[in-house]
Structure 1
Amino acid sequence: MRKAGGWWRRKSTPAKVETYTRWSFHSFAVIEVLALAPTAGTVGSRMGVWLMLMVCVHAVVCGLTVSRALDWVRGRREQPVRLLWTLGAVSAATAVTSLVISGHGPGGDDVDSAAGGVFGVVLTYGAGVIALGVRSRRRVFATVGGFAAGAALVGFPLGVPALAALVSGVAVLFGGGFVAFAAAFSVWLLKAVYELDEARESRARLAVAEERLRFGRDLHDVMGRNLAVIALKSELAVQLARRGRPEAEEQMVEVQRIAQESQREVRDVVRGYREADLGVELTGAQGVLEAAGIRCEVSGEAAGLPVDVQSALGWVVREATTNVLRHGDAGRCAVDVRVTRECVVLKVENDGVAAPSGPGGSGLAGLRERLAAVDGTLEAGPVGDGVFRVVASVPLRVSEVMA
């Protein structure tokens, strides 16, 4: 059975911000309905039911507009222009209906207060939600200003006093402006979070690409000159052999020697990557993670360990660093090396794990095989709320630890 809230922890940070933004505006629609529900009993049975029905329709259109507008902001669909106009029309119709009820419906201060509440809330929330679906600040200001001007002018044909109409317009201007500002800020924050997440992924990919380029340069430096010499001497040997010259055999012996030397040099290059120095790997991991926007803390001392132990633990650091970059949404990673008289323990711990991990993939299985070659063990798994830990332990003999 999944733990409560697991669906939230599995989301990335941008997805969490998007979900929070959506449901914040959806909750405004629910609050609108709940706050204006007493209107039905105050206004009267039939007129109150119709007005409440219009408020519910307005809330539903607002919620649908929020979803479509945020999808448009994320580039998942086209701008919901028709829906924006529909919301504006529903807002205007609901507001005018509330004014008609106030002027021509049942008398009483309670009815006027209830109708005025519907008038102000509907226009304020409608203007703010429409601001989610427009791009430029000029259009946002025009939307809020248009709603405020409409709130002030619509009352004159219905007999609303000039002062009351002016107060309504000012109230809608400030209320709608506040909601529109919140909408614009939410859109800006959502875009910024997604852009930062994409930038972090780009930095991680660049770090990997730089490592591949370095490996390619090393191979080019080793093989480029030797292959050119082999090609030249082989061509020379062919020409000498066609002329029956005994020097052709000497040239082919030289080609064989250069080829064997190239083999040794390639093995040295590959060995430099497969038998890594633990200190170099720790420094490289810290640089790659910090380049990807993940705060990395390295503690402990790796000097003086046997070469095979450093190679095995270096691979643990590489694989753990790769997992931090590729999985979850880490913001912090801690690497600790502890050497005692009996063993050396490497611990890598990071946050931002989206979901509890299974038994592990081929990467962890390969690490266990490497550690088994030096009688080491590996433990990996979640240890807390969104925290993942990898612990590698390798036994030592005192004579193995170099001074």
Structure 2
Amino acid sequence: MRTPGRWWRHKSTPEKVETYTRWSFHFFAVMEFFSVGVTSVAPLGARLGSAVMLVVAVHAGLCFVTVSRAIDWTRGRRPQPTGLLWTLASVTATIAVVALGIAEHGPRGEDVDTAAGGVFGVILIFGPGIIALGVRDRRRAFAIAGGFAAGAWTVAFALGAPLLTALLTALIVLTGGVFIAFTAVFSIWLLNAVYQLDEARETRIRLAVAEERLRFGRDLHDVMGRNLAVIALKSELAVQLAQRGRPEAVTQMVEVQRLAQESQREVREVVRGYREADLGSELTGAQGVLAAAGIDCTVGGAPVAGLPGAVQSALGWVVREAATNVLRHGDARRCAVRLQVLEGRVVLSVENDGVSEAGKEPGAGPPGSGLAGLRERLAEIEGTLEAGPAGRGLFRLTAEIPLPAPSAPPGAAPAVVASRPVSEVTS
């Protein structure tokens, strides 16, 4: 069973913003019911007050549903709720007229006037603001608030309110309605902007992968294109010579064999360049990729220079896999990479604050992939890998590899390799 904290951390940043926006406007409907619906029972009496509370509850329920439908429409998940918007507008206008009628011609008393006026004002402020969520044009959203304010002045004046009182009432309705409408328009704009930024980040990552594939394809073409063309020509020549019984056919086929072996060697070198990870390059690349994705990445610790090639290659793979997991899993804002050279071992730690689900190891997959593949790779050089939560909302991946003992002359005292201060890692 998921706890509320895990449910929230499992969401992406756009989903969190959408949830926050949705429940903020849902809270307006709840606040409307408790602020003017429940509080109307005492001053208006049990019968009339209960009726007013029920009517306000219906309006709050309509607002609640309209918020969900309107936000889903803005995200393209359902058609525009035009009918629901007109229904909410009609119910808002009707409740406002009834509340104003109670204030002008209902039971006498200051408490009655205050309760009815509160219902009138709150309904006319929250109603247009909620309707603005389902309108794409900003000017039209503000025009709706202005229309309700004009209607409030007209109805108040028609029911016998003094001109100045009617104007003041309309001004209050206009100010509150425009403020809620502006909040709605800005919230929808911000929500769409967050989704667009997230889509742009995903597109940037996909383009980077596609560019790397194209580069790999160009390298293979450069390596194999010429050799395959020569092999094809020499094979054709060997066939023609063999058909004529010429001994030169054997020489051509020997050349074809040599070219094929050379092509094999060159392909292995190209692939080895992609399979062998350089620690300095991987640290620089990870920092750049994470920064492009909006993640603050810091790299510090001991310099890379001087580490054995096998150790650098293994740790380079650790950095590459860790950066990939930070991008693909959770919702990190910060990532810290630290390299330490201690006595007889080198330790690389990658810590980020984007734990997607407490206790879950991101990147763990079938054997031979993800962290499982890293453990197998490190085990070949007697290294270890640990990954797991490191505090509230933090995830830490730590790789430790023993260093080969340095060769020393007989009788010489063993050198102690201490942890060095932070400096340029790629120096």
TM-score, scaled to structure 2: 0.91
**What is the rounded CA distance, in whole Å, between the counterparts of 1:159 and 1:45 in structure 2?**
27
- The residue type equivalent to 2:205 in the other structure is A
Q: In 2, are the aligned partners of 1:330 and 1:350 still within 8 Å (CA)? A: yes
**What is the rounded CA distance, in whole Å, between the counterparts of 1:397 and 1:347 in structure 2?**
20
**What is the rounded CA distance, in whole Å, between the counterparts of 2:390 and 2:285 in structure 1?**
26
**What is the rounded CA distance, in whole Å, between the counterparts of 1:345 and 1:380 in structure 2?**
13
Q: In 2, are the aligned partners of 1:335 and 1:346 still within 8 Å (CA)? A: yes
Q: In 1, are the aligned partners of 2:331 and 2:354 still within 8 Å (CA)? A: yes
**What is the rounded CA distance, in whole Å, between the counterparts of 1:45 and 1:332 in structure 2?**
57
What SS does the aligned partner of 1:202 have? helix
**What is the rounded CA distance, in whole Å, between the counterparts of 1:276 and 1:142 in structure 2?**
61
Aligned length: 402
Q: In 1, are the aligned partners of 2:142 and 2:182 still within 8 Å (CA)? A: no
From 342, 345, 354, the equivalent of 1:343 is 345
Map 1:250-289 to 2 at 5 A: 250-289=251-290
**What is the rounded CA distance, in whole Å, between the counterparts of 1:105 and 1:45 in structure 2?**
15
1:352 paired residue number:
354
- The residue type equivalent to 2:40 in the other structure is T
**What is the rounded CA distance, in whole Å, between the counterparts of 1:383 and 1:160 in structure 2?**
66
1:21 paired residue number:
21
From 377, 380, 383, the equivalent of 2:384 is 377
2:320 paired residue number:
318
Q: In 1, are the aligned partners of 2:6 and 2:358 still within 8 Å (CA)? A: no
What SS does the aligned partner of 2:289 have? helix
Is the alpha carbon distance of 1:51 and 1:3 closer, same or farther for their aligned partners in structure 2, counting shifts above 3 Å?
closer
Cα deviation 1:183-228 (Å, max 9, x = unaligned):
1111111111111111111112222222222221211111111111
Q: In 2, are the aligned partners of 1:151 and 1:169 still within 8 Å (CA)? A: yes
**What is the rounded CA distance, in whole Å, between the counterparts of 1:2 and 1:25 in structure 2?**
25
Shift in Å, 1:291:
2.5
Percentage identity across paired residues of the two chains: 69
What SS does the aligned partner of 2:254 have? helix
Map 1:129-148 to 2 at 5 A: 129-148=130-149
2:333 paired residue number:
331
**What is the rounded CA distance, in whole Å, between the counterparts of 2:131 and 2:121 in structure 1?**
16
Shift in Å, 1:340:
2.5
Cα deviation 1:75-120 (Å, max 9, x = unaligned):
1111110110000011011111111211221111211111111101
Q: In 1, are the aligned partners of 2:338 and 2:350 still within 8 Å (CA)? A: yes
**What is the rounded CA distance, in whole Å, between the counterparts of 1:293 and 1:44 in structure 2?**
58
- The residue type equivalent to 1:194 in the other structure is Y
1:217 paired residue number:
218
Q: In 1, are the aligned partners of 2:297 and 2:336 still within 8 Å (CA)? A: yes
- For structure 1, list consecutive stretches of 5 or more residues without a partner in the other structure: none
Cα deviation 1:147-171 (Å, max 9, x = unaligned):
0000000123322222221111111
With 154-163 and 177-186 compared, the bigger mean Cα shift is at 154-163
Is the alpha carbon distance of 1:80 and 1:4 closer, same or farther for their aligned partners in structure 2, counting shifts above 3 Å?
closer
**What is the rounded CA distance, in whole Å, between the counterparts of 1:190 and 1:182 in structure 2?**
12
**What is the rounded CA distance, in whole Å, between the counterparts of 1:43 and 1:25 in structure 2?**
28
Shift in Å, 1:34:
1.1
Shift in Å, 1:293:
2.6
- The residue type equivalent to 2:406 in the other structure is S
**What is the rounded CA distance, in whole Å, between the counterparts of 1:91 and 1:326 in structure 2?**
46
**What is the rounded CA distance, in whole Å, between the counterparts of 1:175 and 1:153 in structure 2?**
18
- The residue type equivalent to 1:58 in the other structure is H
Q: In 1, are the aligned partners of 2:349 and 2:396 still within 8 Å (CA)? A: yes
What SS does the aligned partner of 2:382 have? coil
1:396 paired residue number:
403
Shift in Å, 1:259:
0.4
2:64 paired residue number:
63
**What is the rounded CA distance, in whole Å, between the counterparts of 1:333 and 1:157 in structure 2?**
65
What SS does the aligned partner of 2:406 have? helix
TM-score, scaled to structure 1: 0.96
**What is the rounded CA distance, in whole Å, between the counterparts of 1:189 and 1:12 in structure 2?**
15
Q: In 2, are the aligned partners of 1:204 and 1:325 still within 8 Å (CA)? A: no
2:208 paired residue number:
207
Shift in Å, 1:288:
2.2
**What is the rounded CA distance, in whole Å, between the counterparts of 1:109 and 1:163 in structure 2?**
19
Q: In 2, are the aligned partners of 1:341 and 1:398 still within 8 Å (CA)? A: no
**What is the rounded CA distance, in whole Å, between the counterparts of 2:288 and 2:250 in structure 1?**
52
**What is the rounded CA distance, in whole Å, between the counterparts of 1:287 and 1:85 in structure 2?**
51
Q: In 2, are the aligned partners of 1:204 and 1:289 still within 8 Å (CA)? A: no
Shift in Å, 1:290:
2.1
Cα deviation 1:121-158 (Å, max 9, x = unaligned):
10000011111110112211210110000000012332
What SS does the aligned partner of 2:390 have? strand
Is the alpha carbon distance of 1:208 and 1:60 closer, same or farther for their aligned partners in structure 2, counting shifts above 3 Å?
same
Map 1:291-306 to 2 at 5 A: 291-300=292-301, 301-306=303-308
Shift in Å, 1:372:
0.6
Map 1:233-252 to 2 at 5 A: 233-252=234-253
**What is the rounded CA distance, in whole Å, between the counterparts of 1:273 and 1:115 in structure 2?**
75
What SS does the aligned partner of 1:390 have? strand
Shift in Å, 1:338:
1.2
Q: In 1, are the aligned partners of 2:9 and 2:330 still within 8 Å (CA)? A: no
**What is the rounded CA distance, in whole Å, between the counterparts of 1:285 and 1:214 in structure 2?**
18
Pairwise CA RMSD: 1.7
**What is the rounded CA distance, in whole Å, between the counterparts of 1:227 and 1:144 in structure 2?**
73
2:420 paired residue number:
none
Cα deviation 1:299-343 (Å, max 9, x = unaligned):
231122222212211111111111112111222222211122310
**What is the rounded CA distance, in whole Å, between the counterparts of 1:103 and 1:287 in structure 2?**
68
**What is the rounded CA distance, in whole Å, between the counterparts of 1:340 and 1:48 in structure 2?**
76
With 64-73 and 306-315 compared, the bigger mean Cα shift is at 306-315
**What is the rounded CA distance, in whole Å, between the counterparts of 2:154 and 2:291 in structure 1?**
58
What SS does the aligned partner of 1:155 have? helix
**What is the rounded CA distance, in whole Å, between the counterparts of 2:182 and 2:2 in structure 1?**
38
Q: In 1, are the aligned partners of 2:67 and 2:130 still within 8 Å (CA)? A: yes
Stretches (4+) displaced over 4 A: 1-4
1:111 paired residue number:
112
1:169 paired residue number:
170
